[in-house]
Structure 1
Amino acid sequence: MQNKVSIIIPAFNVEAYVERGIESALGQTYENVELVMVDDGSSDGTWGVIERYASDNRVKCARQANSGVSKARNHALSMATGDYAVFLDSDDWLELDTCDQLVRMRRKHPNMLVAADAYFVTMDGGREGRKAQGTNLAARTFTPDEAICEFGVFNSVHIGSSCYKLFSMDIIEKNHIRFDERISHTEDGLFVFDYLKCCAGLYYEPIPLWNILERPGSATTSGYTHKMLSSLDAIGQMISRPGNSPDAIAHLEAFRAHEALRILGLGIDSGDMTEDDRRALLDALADGKVDRARLSGVDKVRLALYPNAPAFLSRVFNGFVAHAKKGGN
């Protein structure tokens, strides 16, 4: 009998988008799936869309007061009855053979976290454009430390995301792995990190199995908020976990500096960053633990620019970087 795959969707105010993800989950070519959805206190018609599927015996759904994506995912994990878990954001959708492909990979590498890739989907005048990510990469296995040293690496395997992966529920439950509900950014990276500490490593194939929609107002396109600073707490927890190699610790320190610089840049661009937040971010860059040779060229410029230069110069530089990155997509 096929192992069961629990597809987990946390949802918040995505009335116009969530149906596509639901249909992609229920339309999987892999037969033994369940869909577990938790509405995180939506104020639009999201729950009404979810309720339309409640009569399907493959669907479990629940509502909670708005408490954040980490609590919604944890709620869903407590409801899940599958052998494996797949996480899908509520405005994204799966390729119809996603579970078949992931289970195939898991059978080849039974003691590893298995990971695939995604299509990056943009909207232009009502028309969708899709570009496969990972096209320059090759199938590869990583030890846990090697995988950790990919966190935050641009144009690499998306190891820091809870999407694109198939998790063993046995490993999750035996090791009491959950999303930290105090953290709202990089919470999924911390979840993956803790999982990697409990398995043999990661196996990756550059097959696009997720569709990631870029849309205004999504978590990936939102501007600066104070909650972003919780990302530094998440990485701090990774650094403090026992068993890290010196190389992994050095990489995570550089990753933490990158996050501080990225958030600081967003705050400068927004003009809404408080002085307390600015000081906290600068303090994270001044602790003397970062091997600057591990920083990218862009981060080295940011590090020289942000603490002392006028805000308008930082904004000009940020605009140049954003334009160059968009051209690369």
Structure 2
Amino acid sequence: MANTFREPAPQATVLAPVTHFNTVPYIRGAVVSLLSQTYPNIRVAVMNDGGSDAPWGELDDIVDPRLSRFQMSRNVGPYFMNHVAAMANPWPYMTIQDSDDWSEPDRISELMNVLNRTELSVVSSATITHIVDNSTEVAKWSRNRRSDGVEDLSDRVTRSPREAAFNGARHQALFKTQFIREMGGYYAGSKVEYDTFIMCIAQLIGELDYCKTPLYHRRIRGESLTKSEGTGMTSNYRAQTRRTLIRYFEEAKRRRLAEDPHIRGYIASSVRDSVSEAEHAQISECTRVMHKALSHAGGRRIVQL
């Protein structure tokens, strides 16, 4: 894949948070794919989300000042962790990388080119899916997958606000950090569905672009959040979360069609109100610690959040 990236400004650093929870066989590949990006200014933050199998042994021999390591005392979920990273991020961009996936070497360069050209806030790309568990239940999650493994969702980006709908979306995108903050962050009090919400909102308000080049490899596993008893696709927990986020989305759509100038404020307040006071306090403390750590070069030290 040709790299046509224009030399970035020195301050255009991208933070890539990687939330690990019991994905030891895959974490090293995820991290190495980020540290091997052709984009020159990247910081990787591996966050162990209270998992029983910490990833640190798999990463111990990686000595790179661009890699920082964080440890949560209990499991809070990937959206909580991505939210903390977004709030703590001292740089203007952030990309999402799941701990069992990996990126093409030019992923960040290509996505940054799109953002620079369009001046929008979010850009996603086509994905190559790899189904680890070939059961019918897992395979149906990738119904948009072509025979060559590519999942192309570009048709959803071109929908008008009136056609916009709350349906599955991939958050493995490049974001402007300020956009995430303006939307109230990356967490609405639940461990599921927020990726669909934030990407559908970005499309609804005209801040999402799409690169049809497959730049991201998504591994579909049977033991993921979408299959577990408590958070799976048929769980009450997921259904309740989805109903809440659909309600927020439909109200945002109504306001968008009415050309309400305060639509972003509505989205942000709805998201923040979904988070408990206790969680807000924990987020604030974790953000303080992470921001301080990210202001220095990374290393082998594991920072407790």
What TM-score comes out, normalization by structure 1 length? 0.62
SS state at 1:177 partner: coil
CA distance in 2, matches of 1:5, 1:138: 27
Partner of 2:219: 213
* Displacement after TM superposition at 1:94 (Å): 0.6
Q: Aligned partners of 2:116, 2:123: CA distance in 1, in Å? A: 10
State the match for 1:104 in structure 2.
Answer: 113
Q: Letter of the aligned partner of 2:38 in structure 1?
A: T
1:18 maps to amino acid: I
Q: 1:68 to 1:124 in 2, by over 3 A?
A: closer
Say whether the 8 Å CA contact 1:142–1:202 is kept in structure 2.
Answer: no
Residue of structure 2 in register with 1:311 after alignment = none
Assess, with a 3 A threshold, how the Cα gap between structure 1 residues 141 and 23 changes in structure 2: closer, same or farther: same
Measure how far apart 1:114 and its partner are. 1.7
What's 1:244 paired with? 256
Give me the CA root mean square deviation: 2.9
Q: How far off its partner does 1:7 sit?
A: 1.3
Tell me which residue corresponds to 1:162: 171
Give the match for residue 64 of structure 2: 56
**1:122–1:130 contact (8 Å) kept in structure 2:** no
Aligned residues: 230
CA distance in 1, matches of 2:120, 2:159: 12
CA displacement at 1:59 relative to structure 2: 1.5
**Alignment-mate amino acid for residue 170 of structure 1:** Q
Which residue of structure 2 aligns with residue 256 of structure 1? Answer: none
2:48·2:70 contact (CA, 8 Å) conserved in 1? yes
Shift of 1:70: 1.7
Q: Select the residue among 38, 41, 50 that pairs with 1:41.
A: 50
Q: What CA distance in whole angstroms lies between the structure 1 residues aligned with 2:151 and 2:198?
A: 23
Secondary structure, aligned partner of 1:18: helix
Query: CA 1:178–1:112 in structure 2 vs 1: closer, same or farther (change >3 Å)?
Result: closer
% identical equivalent positions = 21
Asked if residue 227 in structure 1 is aligned to residue 242 in structure 2, the reply is: no
Which secondary structure does the structure 1 equivalent of 2:248 belong to? helix
Deviation at 1:239, TM superposition (A): 2.0
Question: RCO greater where, 1 or 2, for CA within 8 Å and sep 6 or more?
Answer: 2
> Secondary structure of the residue that 1:16 maps to in structure 2?
helix
For structure 2, list consecutive stretches of 5 or more residues without a partner in the other structure: 1-8, 135-146, 259-305
User: Once the 2 structures are TM-superposed, how far is the Cα of residue 227 of structure 1 from its aligned partner?
Assistant: 2.0
Cα 1:141/1:149, change in 2 over 3 Å:
closer
Alignment of 1:153-192 (within 5 A): 160-163=169-172, 165-173=173-181, 175=182, 177-192=184-199
Residues 1:140 and 1:183: Cα distance change in structure 2 (over 3 Å)? closer
From the CA coordinates, give the structure whose radius of gyration is larger.
Answer: 1
Gaps of 5+ in 1: 153-157, 247-329
Given the alignment, which residue of 87, 90, 96 partners 1:78? 87
1:1-20 aligned at under 5 Å gives the runs 1-2=9-10, 3-20=12-29
Please, what TM-score do these two structures have when normalized by structure 2? 0.66
Query: How far, CA to CA, are the matches of 1:234 and 1:124 in structure 2?
Result: 29
Partner-residue secondary structure (3-state), 1:41: coil
- Structure 1 residue 83, shift from structure 2 partner: 1.8
1:251 — aligned with what? none
How much has 1:231 moved relative to structure 2? 1.7
